[in-house]
Amino acid sequence: MKVIEHINQAKDTLISFEVLPPLKGKGINAIYNHLDPLMEFKPSFINVTYHRSETMFKKQADGSFNKIEVRKRPGTVGICAAIMQHYNVDPVPHLICGGFTREETENALIDLAFLGIDNVLVLRGDAAKNETFFEPEPGGNRYAIDLLKQVIDLNHGIYLEEEVKDPGKGTFCVGVAGYPEKHFEAPNKATDIAYLKAKVEAGAEYVVTQMFFDNQKYFDFVQSCRAAGINVPIIPGLKPITNKKQMTILPRTFHVDLPDELSAEIMKCKADADVELVGTEWLLNQSRELKKAGVPVLHYYTLGKPKVIWNVVKELV
């Protein structure tokens, strides 16, 4: 079932989760152990992130170094298939531009279609760790809208190979990312929303936001989107604060602000266990306000903290 169908048929705010593929060498039980406690909340769909390769240098016997590409978290397509079979829940694989050619993307889409997976979230992805700025893979998509258009083309039976006979058409429901506090590379919020509108006009059916910790920023973002003519569902993305290091890591990595009240309460904490309590209560209050406002879905970035998410969601359902 498509994400947009879940939303259109819902009578109340839905719940969804997002997980990371385990590090290479870990089995699928790492995912099951993470999700098992959360399944009692009957999530409508589960997102699975995609990760680009990282450049590493392996020392050779002669002292020289050999450049290799390593993907530390492989398996997105396989994990989505496992989630669908194990839990009978719709998976939403992420697709990214970075590290993938257009042909590799097309092959991934064909694999997903064979598996009966008809949802994707398309993202440009971040710059590689050894790059100052994002650089697309040679032969790959440069921007999220280019990736989006490739998915929509496949939905119309248009493949990269022009001579495909009797091409089958994809049925993908495509989501895109939105940034309540502006994408850090956009010159201003108006331009950022214009980019988002272009993606919706190109075929995106819903938006999932970057994490935020001030609901007013989400409400303002939705209002600005509606004023610009963006009328698709806008799903808030939510994440708990669980340790003091996140006070610097999250703003630096994700370019988001922490409200004064939240940061002040965290600074009073003497241990991470206390921070987790503060973060859990903050996330619960965020969730209650958003649900009361009638958001379509509460989407939780679980990312290693399923117990915190469980403690929040159990108070909502």
Looking at residue 60, its pLDDT comes to 64
Please state, in angstroms and rounded to a whole number, the distance separating the CA atoms of residues 17 and 306. 9
Question: Does residue 43 surpass a pLDDT of 90?
Answer: yes
Confidence of residue 129 (pLDDT cuts 50, 70, 90): low
Q: pLDDT at position 35, please? A: 97
Quote the pLDDT of residue 23.
87
Q: What is the mean pLDDT of residues 196-222?
A: 98
Q: With 70 as the cut, is the pLDDT of residue 301 above it?
A: yes
Report whether pLDDT(131) > 80.
no
pLDDT score of 127 more than 70: no
- Region 11-37: mean pLDDT is 94
pLDDT for position 140: 83
State the CATH class of domain 3-313. Answer: alpha beta
Which pLDDT belongs to residue 136? 65
Contacts (Cβ under 8 Å, ≥6 apart) of 280: 240, 308, 311, 312
pLDDT over threshold 70, residue 65: no
Q: Express each pLDDT in 214-258 by its tens digit.
A: 999 999 999 999 999 999 999 999 999 999 999 999 999 899 999
| Averaged pLDDT, 107-124 | 95
What element of type H or E holds 281? helix 272-292
- What pLDDT is stored for residue 135 in this prediction? 65
Among candidate residues 18, 106, 181, 276, the one labeled active-site is 18
Question: Would you place residue 24 in the very low, low, confident or very high pLDDT band (cuts 50, 70, 90)?
Answer: confident
| 18 in active site | yes
Tell me what percent of the residues of the chain surpass a pLDDT of 70.
Answer: 90
Q: What is the pLDDT of residue 155?
A: 97
Compare 88 and 59 and report the one with higher pLDDT: 88
Higher pLDDT, 98 or 187: 187
- Band of pLDDT at residue 168, cut at 50, 70 and 90: confident
Selected residue with higher pLDDT from 272 and 62: 272
Q: What is the mean pLDDT of the chain?
A: 90
- In the prediction, which pLDDT does 151 show? 97
Helix (H, G, I), strand (E, B) or coil at 92: strand
Distance CA 178, CA 182 (A): 8
Q: Domain segments of the chain: what residues?
A: 3-313
The DSSP output letter for 303 is T
Rounded to an integer, the average pLDDT of 45-68 is 67
Q: From CA 128, how far away is CA 163, in angstroms rounded?
A: 35
User: Mean pLDDT over residues 136-143, rounded?
Assistant: 80
Least confident of 22-26, 33-37, 271-275: 22-26
Q: How far is CA 34 from CA 27, 187, 299, in A?
A: 12, 38, 16
Which residues partner with 70 through β-bridges? 54
Q: What whole-number distance in Å separates Cα of residue 281 and Cα of residue 303?
A: 18
Residue 225 φ then ψ, to 5° = -65, -45
Task: Please report the pLDDT score of residue 245 as a whole number.
Answer: 93
Average pLDDT for 155-175: 88
pLDDT at residue number 176: 98
